[in-house]
C-alpha cells in the first residue's frame, strides 16, 4: 500500500503545480486587462478642445443612427460596421486613405463601444499613434447638451 500512497502524493503534487501555473497565467491575464489601452479616451471637454484645434472626428455609426441623433458638427461620416456587426468592406481602405498613421484622429459612435474596438485595432494592428476615442460617444455628448448637426 506504500506504492498507492506514493502515487497519490505524486498526483497531489502535480495537481498543486498545475494550479500554481494556472494561477500565474490568470494573474498575468488579469493584469494585462488592467493596462492602459493603446489609444486615448477623451471626455466631452477634451473633445471640444480638440474640435477647436480642427482635429478630424470620424463618426463611425450607421446612416440611420446619424439621422436619428444628428452628428457632432464637422464629423466625417464613415460607417464602420453594418447592422449585423460586420466590418464594412470599404471602411479600412477609405479610413487609411484619409488619415496618416501619425496624425491625430478622433473616433465617435453611439456609446464608445465600437470606437473602443476600432481604436485598439488601429493602434495595435495598423500602427496609428494618436487615436482618440470619445468615451460614452454621441449619447453623452447629447446628454451634456452639446450641439449636434441634424442631417
Residue 4: predicted pLDDT: 55
Residue 129 to residue 136: CA distance in whole angstroms: 21
Per-residue pLDDT for the chain (151 aa), expressed as one digit of tens each?
Answer: 555 555 555 555 554 554 454 444 444 444 445 678 999 999 999 999 999 999 999 999 999 999 999 999 999 999 999 999 999 999 999 999 999 999 999 999 999 999 999 999 999 999 999 999 999 999 999 999 999 999 9
pTM: 0.78
Residue 71: φ, ψ to 5°:
-135, 160
Residue 35: predicted pLDDT: 74
Q: According to DSSP H, which parts of the chain are helical?
A: 2-33, 44-52, 63-69, 91-98, 113-124, 137-143
Amino acid at each position: 500500500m506504500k506504492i498507492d500512497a506514493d502515487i497519490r502524493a505524486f498526483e497531489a503534487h502535480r495537481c498543486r503545480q498545475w494550479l500554481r501555473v494556472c494561477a500565474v497565467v490568470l494573474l498575468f491575464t488579469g493584469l494585462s486587462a488592467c493596462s492602459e489601452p493603446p489609444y486615448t479616451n477623451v471626455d466631452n471637454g477634451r473633445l471640444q478642445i480638440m474640435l477647436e484645434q480642427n482635429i478630424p472626428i470620424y463618426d463611425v455609426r450607421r446612416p440611420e443612427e446619424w439621422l436619428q441623433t444628428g452628428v457632432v458638427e464637422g464629423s466625417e461620416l464613415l460607417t464602420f460596421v453594418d447592422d449585423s456587426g460586420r466590418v464594412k468592406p470599404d471602411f479600412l481602405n477609405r479610413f487609411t486613405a484619409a488619415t496618416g498613421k501619425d496624425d491625430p484622429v478622433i473616433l465617435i459612435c453611439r456609446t464608445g463601444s465600437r470606437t473602443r474596438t476600432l481604436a485598439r485595432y488601429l493602434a495595435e494592428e495598423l500602427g496609428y499613434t494618436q487615436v482618440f476615442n470619445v468615451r460614452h460617444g454621441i449619447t453623452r455628448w447629447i446628454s451634456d447638451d452639446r450641439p449636434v448637426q441634424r442631417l
